[in-house]
Structure 1
Amino acid sequence: MINNVTLVGRLTRDPELRYTPQNQAVATFSLAVNRQFKNAKGEREADFINCVIWRQQAENMVNWAKKGAL
């Protein structure tokens, strides 16, 4: 069984695509995920999560997702 997680957030910048020496696509991006609760001041905070995606999914993401996309 593989562990998985689902994050819903906005891209903080356009994904960056590169290729490994074996010609495999790799994209890196960062998500801003809002927390579901407020802090002591009553304000919402966000976590910034660095992500990596591989192969065809990486190429699709670079073609379709841009900064600010949900």
Structure 2
Amino acid sequence: MQENEITAPDLSGRTASFIIVQAVTVVLLLLSVLTVKYFFKEYYEDISRWYKTSFCGETDVDEVLEAAGGGIDEV
């Protein structure tokens, strides 16, 4: 009779491909932002203005720090 040997799957190839996909995604996002910034300056100014009023104006850093730890300094 033959014995069936159970082996753990090799995750090294899967991990490497996952890291490569993440790196390619980050590069594409950076290239898209740089393309808009340097080739479509009028749109970039509109997007930048919208980002500053919509996202940056709503939350202060102190609010986030107080909610996270109550002002406790961690080392």
TM-score (norm. length: structure 1): 0.19
Higher helix share: 2
TM-score (norm. length: structure 2): 0.18
Higher strand share: 1
Greater relative contact order structure (CA < 8 Å, 6+ sep): 1
